[in-house]
Amino acid sequence: MNIIEILKLIFEESGFAGLIEDPRYLIMILFACFLLYLGIHKKYEPLLMIPIAFGVLLANLPRTGLTDGLIHYLSLGVEYGIYPSLVFLGTGAMTDFGPLIANPSSLLMGAGAQFGIFTAFLMALVLGFDPKVAAAIGVIGGADGPTAILTASKLAMEYLPAIAIAAYSYMALIPMIQPPLMRLVTTETERKTVMKQTRTVTKTERIVFPIAVTIFVVLLIPDTAPLVGMLMFGNLLKETGLTDRLSDTAQNALTNIVIIFLGISVGAKAVASTFITVRTIEIVVLGLIAFSFSTVGGLLIGKIMYKVTGGKVNPLIGSAGVSAVPMAARVSQMEGQKANPNNYLLMHAMGPNVAGVIGSAVAAGFMLKIFGA
């Protein structure tokens, strides 16, 4: 065997030869680099976008065998719905439900902002998607990454990467997607509404809330248990004040570890053969529609509450019901201040914002109940 033959053998067994064999891998590598650019340079949800993008990159380097080894085992956490639930545990430990407890009527805006889930579900059916896949696509409208991933992992595994990437991309694009809709749906007078400071929430209420929500919601829709149960458990760890170490672990170490595994696993599902299809583009478009309808749904409920309360509720906080915490609430704050510099809506918007998290978990639980069997 001469040196030329050795070099030829090395090349033939390299990933480069694999790229020549199937150029779709090259497209996926470029796509992974684009996602990395969005995550690193544009700072679009970098904590998840970067692991997902790197997962896409690793899975599309031919002949590594990673998808049968390391990534296969990491992916079990997605397939069994473990990672999204653990992310919810961390989210619960980080979430302050105080604004929601102080102003429980904001739950209605959180419910209204799930409108996009059901609209996108119907549109996906019109486009010919299988009902299970349509349900998973609709959940993108909840603007909640872990919920979208959990639903997709149970109902539409083959579309999981497209759904996850669409969900996180739109969550990152909230400051661009929502403001035009907010200005379109609300009037100048409504946007200028200054809201009164909410009441103080006692520690007892904060402790009882997660326990009561878990009992009632999970008893009524048992399929919400992985999400609502973990969310409320995390919140209880935070609110008791007696389990600071556990709360700290849930908020930081555990969440960070799970996000790494989740991101890599989801990204690695985006292999060229299943990802480069027209269906992926349709999912991305449907995700945007779902997101927009959810925003409008929350705003419309906000407008109704503005009328009913005689102008005491600023409808801009309704758009925060899409649950991307706390980005959507910040957008409400920014738009409110543009209309009236003395407007401080952030804490008021946190109510619908965290209500949206519960609302999207309930909507996902409903979809799993109907289509999961």
Partner 1 sequence: MSAGRALIIAVSGFLIVFLMLCLLWFIIVLINKVTDSIGAKTAKEEPVKAETSTVEVPAETGTQEAVYGGEIALYDVDEKTAACLMAIVSDETKIPLNQLIFKSIKALD
Residues that bind partner 1 (CB under 8 A): 100-101, 104-105, 107-108, 110-112, 114-115, 117-119, 121-122, 125, 131, 200, 202-205, 208-209, 212-213, 216-217, 220-221, 241, 244, 355, 358-359, 362-363, 366-367, 370
Rounded least distance, CB 244 to partner 1, Å? 7
* Closer residue to partner 1 (CB): 79 or 96: 96
Sign of the torsion formed by the C-alpha atoms of 307, 309, 314 and 318: negative
Helix axes 346-371, 145-155, angle to 10 degrees: 0
Rounded least distance, CB 98 to partner 1, Å? 11
R_g of the chain, CA atoms, integer Å: 22
Rounded least distance, CB 138 to partner 1, Å? 8
* Closer residue to partner 1 (CB): 239 or 335: 239
* Closer residue to partner 1 (CB): 98 or 263: 98
Rounded least distance, CB 77 to partner 1, Å? 27
Contact 126, 13 (CB under 8 A): no
* Closer residue to partner 1 (CB): 270 or 363: 363
Contact 88, 327 (CB under 8 A): no
> Which own/partner pairs from 3-9 qualify as long-range (CB within 8 Å, at least 24 positions apart)?
none
Torsion of CA 15, 16, 19, 25, to 10 degrees: 60
Rounded least distance, CB 112 to partner 1, Å? 8
- Can you read off the two tokens belonging to residue 313? 């509720």
* Closer residue to partner 1 (CB): 240 or 337: 240
Closest CA to 372 of 123, 118, 214, 153: 153
* Closer residue to partner 1 (CB): 43 or 307: 307
Rounded least distance, CB 80 to partner 1, Å? 25
Distance of CA 139 to the CA centre of its chain: 9
* Closer residue to partner 1 (CB): 121 or 233: 121
* Closer residue to partner 1 (CB): 3 or 219: 219
Distance CA 211, CA 232 (A): 7
* Closer residue to partner 1 (CB): 76 or 122: 122
Rounded least distance, CB 366 to partner 1, Å? 5
Buried b (16+ CB within 10 A) or exposed e, 93-105: bbbbbbbbbbbee
Distance CA 323, CA 356 (A): 4
Rounded least distance, CB 240 to partner 1, Å? 9
Rounded least distance, CB 247 to partner 1, Å? 11
The stretches of 103-222 forming alpha helices (DSSP H) are 106-112, 115-126, 131-138, 145-155, 160-172, 174-185, 188-191, 203-220
Torsion of CA 176, 165, 365, 99, to 10 degrees: -40
CB atoms near residue 296 (< 10 Å): 22
